Structure 1
């Protein structure tokens, strides 16, 4: 009934419990998950998780927070994206929260990912934090609307959400929506068109209430769905069915099992 559209199953605190994590997914009606790449050094581990489990997909990309790592170019990303288990390019984007100084290298890396996604014909997974204006500007300049994708773990304003929607992007909501102080995000979760909404855990981070403070896992995307369903005044079943349809519409090379 639910799909976790963004998680990091290859991270040590989840891969050590891999069998348990997969059982918990099934117990909570989480049918599929997308294991997202954050750098090329660890990409083989991402792909290995997807190859071990028919209901787990992979992406390839380099997160904007990673410095002093293998810098991707368009050709390499496109080459890696050919693999049938890879359904997206990313995560990519801009993050001005953790890093300071001259961040032009982040912007160039982001442009590389957009160009690779267009060339590969696979959607983008975009991370943006404290950088919404530049993120949207580069998306427009590089024609990201030609391929589309998802603004993952969305925490920006209603205006940013509307701008991303206009660029052919989906909005993905994480467990942050269950936090009491996430007032603005709750409003976004209520107003995003149901056919453009995704849900995620970003696990092992950002565990939703009632598990806040613990290691997050894909099973708990069910709590995200329940919180959004309540905000929107719809059933959890409707919310789950809609976001699952949206996932397979966006990541069209993903095959449900």
Structure 2
């Protein structure tokens, strides 16, 4: 049995075909999925998925790359995090990727709004006693520094695509590492090394669907039904069985998100 620890089933690419997606999940033995919020505007849709289907859960948060959206207060996040079926704060973090191309030539200094948003999510998670779902892209130094400055916490670095050194730093702080379809790509050699060093009790798997479909579906719309392909590649890299990957990642999911088990 597999669990998709990070997906976006409210996005248009998937929302219109949810019955077929759920049927494919059942056939692939993907028993549960965590539906991720990226804005407060979409949070009601994400929460509705978790309320409608007993094997879906929700998070609440604002993606670091989302601009011109409602900025929740710390109190708003804490209150939303206390709702039934909401099990984490995020996704949150930092994203400096393609700043010049996509953000009018702004520099890292101009990303202070992202850093303040991240700090607010960290503080909300601590108050709500919930884990963080962290997105970091081209910003790992600042992501780790801010977590340390804010006193750390618990949570997961999702869709991990950074270096072995960043992975070790996150692990040393007590965070989990979630690997996506990227780990199935032949050119992701550094990530393959990361996949080998994450301890069994800190490993999660995800699709980040509708994005990043694993080989052999690369370039197509991703769905939670494809998470076993991530597990299969991890089993190869770690020289273990797919069943072992399924067992340990499912146990880790339950441990990291205790509201699910309560």
User: Smaller-chain TM-score range?
Assistant: over 0.9
Structure 1 equivalent of residue 251 of structure 2: 245
CA RMSD of the aligned region, Å?
0.9
Aligned counterpart, 1:70 = 70
Corresponding residue SS for 1:254:
helix
Whole-angstrom distance in 2 between the partners of 1:221 and 1:144: 29
Is 2:255 the partner of 1:229?
no
TM-score (normalizing by structure 1): 0.97
SS of 1:207's equivalent in the other structure is coil
Moved more, 118-127 or 66-75: 66-75
Which whole-Å CA distance do the structure 2 matches of 1:72 and 1:166 have between them? 30
Q: Distance in 2 between matches of 1:213 and 1:158?
A: 26
Q: Which residue of 2 aligns with 1:49?
A: 49
Question: Offset at 1:138?
Answer: 0.2
Please state if 1:60 is matched with 2:66: no
Number of aligned residues: 254
What are the superposed Cα offsets for residues 102-155 of structure 1, whole Å, 9 maximum, x if unpaired?
Answer: 01000000000000000000000000000000000000000123xx00000000
User: Structure 2 length as normaliser, TM-score?
Assistant: 0.96
Deviations 1:38-83 (A, max 9, x none): 0000100000111111000000000011111101211000011111
In the other structure, the counterpart of 1:109 is: 117
Q: 2:84, 2:248 → 1: CA distance?
A: 25
Aligned position for 1:88: 88
Unaligned 5+ runs, structure 2: none
CA distance in 1, matches of 2:259, 2:98: 33
**Equivalent residues in 2 for 1:127-206 (5 A)?**
127-145=135-153, 148-206=154-212
Residue in structure 2 matched with residue 208 of structure 1 by the alignment:
214
C-alpha displacement of 1:20: 0.6
Task: Please give the alpha-carbon distance, in whole angstroms, between the structure 2 residues aligned to 1:51 and 1:209.
Answer: 32
The 3-state SS of whatever aligns with 2:260 is coil
Local SS of the residue matching 1:172: strand
CA contact (8 A) 1:118 1:144 kept: no
Does the CA-based 8 Å contact 1:65-1:98 persist in structure 2?
Answer: no
Q: Distance in 1 between matches of 2:52 and 2:214?
A: 27
Q: CA deviation at 1:167?
A: 1.0
* Secondary structure of 2:259's aligned partner: coil
For structure 1, which runs of at least 5 residues remain unmatched after alignment? none
